[in-house]
Amino acid sequence: MRPAPRRLDVFLVRVRLGYSADCRPCIIVEPPQHEAAVVLVSASDLFNAALDFRLDASCPEFKGTGLKKTSYALGRAFVAVPVSALGKRLGRIEGNLASRFEAWLAQLEEEK
């Protein structure tokens, strides 16, 4: 049995985003019980600096995320998914990258 997902873990999940229902990375933003609140991650160039968080491959902590290339946490793509729908754990956001990500989440919350 795999360990329970924790806040800032990066997993694969199959969920619809736009016209695509591909398997994509997500970041756990609320510790799950039956459902996990996640923010979806995209590697496309549709980055919106006002809304999205850049996970830059040149960042020293990037390797720990398990992502393969610079990606974006989409500030408009928060969803709840059953824990059972979470696929492979890729990694975790840690260190300065985690601090900046948490600040971004807090800013999004303030703007609601």
Q: How do the domains of the chain map onto residue ranges?
A: 9-110
The string of pLDDT tens digits covering residues 32-80 is: 776 777 787 887 767 788 888 999 999 999 999 999 999 999 888 788 8
Assigned CATH topology for domain 9-110: SH3 type barrels. (2.30.30)
pLDDT computed for residue 108 by the predictor: 87
pLDDT computed for residue 48 by the predictor: 83
CA nearest to 109, candidates 75, 67, 63: 75
Of 19-23, 76-80, 87-91, 103-107, the one with minimum mean pLDDT is 19-23
pLDDT computed for residue 10 by the predictor: 95
Per the prediction, the chain carries an average pLDDT of 87
CB 23 within 8 A of CB 42: no
